[in-house]
Amino acid sequence: MKKTIVLLISLFIGFTVLLSAQQKNKVKYTTRKGDKVFGEILEKQAKVQEKKDEETGKIRQRQAKEAGEEDQRMILSDSTGLFPPKSPEEFKQYFYFPPQAQDFTNTCWTFAATSYLESEIFRLTGKKIKLSEMWAVYFGLIDKCRRYIDERGNSHVAGGGEPIAAVHTWKQHGIVPLDVYPGVLEKGDRHNHAPMMEEVISYLTYINRNNLWNEEENMKHITLILDNHLGKPPESFTYNGKTMTPVEFLQNETGLNPDDYYSVISTLYFPFYTKGEFRVPDNWSHSKEYINLPLDVWYGIVKKAVPAGQTLVMVGDVTEAGKLAEADIAFIPTFDIPEKYIDQDSREYRIYNKTTEDDHAIHVVGYKQVKGKDWYLIKDSARSSRYGKYPGYYFFRGDFIKLKMLAITVHKDLLKDILPKLKK
């Protein structure tokens, strides 16, 4: 009997174990229960932060308003004692295409240079060919970025540049008509280079920070950015029924020789009648090919250009009290410096203390004397030139050019007496 009981107990235990082994746990979903205390703490924290953000937002709005009001204040001169020409038609002029706006870009240098070279094509060949301003922008950025990579970040990359750089770009890459390369993706679009430049600078900053210098791969990325924003430049195109490359177009259709053009400055920084570097950020390649001349000789070239049948490009400082956009004029007010005191030294002093900087390029297309004063008709791509009675134009008085303009780009014919005098 005892054995039987033990056996039954063993069988029961075995059956129970076997039954337990066959049972499995099941997965089920349930609602997560939040902790009430934690919830109350977080809710209070959010309300405190919301109040802080609201207070800070009001302060920021007030500060922005105050800053905006302050930014609107600037010193301008009145026009007492001025006798400017009354309209562009009064100036002696030579051919140029109507003014075009550069829109939201820093590309005055290529608008001025392209306009000038269009006038040169007409002067040399009689042809009227409207050219692409964005061609030099595209290849200029390619060259800027390549130099940045070669110099491991120690090189200036921005939308600006020098007019002579456009000439150098044409020499290497040729040029095309505007309709072949408009530099916008949709017909009729305005130029806006802010997104493009943001992408370019962001990418260059990234490879610099991470030491990812591989020119071939880096330039593929840069090219992709430019193609996406400006369009891919064509390797060939059809012009007057002929298929040609941009270089062939330059050589066979324009009559231009890029080697015939020089940039000329006037500074005490290095000797006159020598070549040296124009030390401004927009001379990003650090070109040392700028001819340096005394101010009276330099201004003499400016003054004789239009009467001699030529136009010219000019770069300099235009953020001045005597530049009155609504009146289309620019001059030096007497409260700045009387005209009789404008000379090489007063000019250099402003270059040195950076109150004269290289911030804009324009195309000089006309000349007129009024009451013994020189006046120049300026074709301008900047927005401010659209504020006055004659959109796209300014009238610059001679004193403004002597004191505030820094460099000119001209054809060699205007330098016949200068080039033989240059010191090696």
Domains of the chain: 91-421 (3.90.70.10)
Rounded percentage of the chain residues whose pLDDT exceeds 90: 83
Q: What is the pLDDT of residue 41?
A: 81
Is 70's pLDDT higher than 80?
no
Q: What is the pLDDT of residue 34?
A: 76
Instruction: Read off the pLDDT band of 15 (50, 70, 90).
Output: low
Q: pLDDT tens, 110-163?
A: 999 999 999 999 999 999 999 999 999 999 999 999 999 999 999 999 999 999
Residues in the chain: 424
How much is the mean pLDDT over the chain?
93
Instruction: Read off the pLDDT band of 23 (50, 70, 90).
Output: confident
Q: pLDDT tens, 297-339?
A: 999 999 999 999 999 999 999 999 999 999 999 999 999 999 9
Q: What is the pLDDT of residue 159?
A: 95
Q: What is the pTM of this model?
A: 0.85
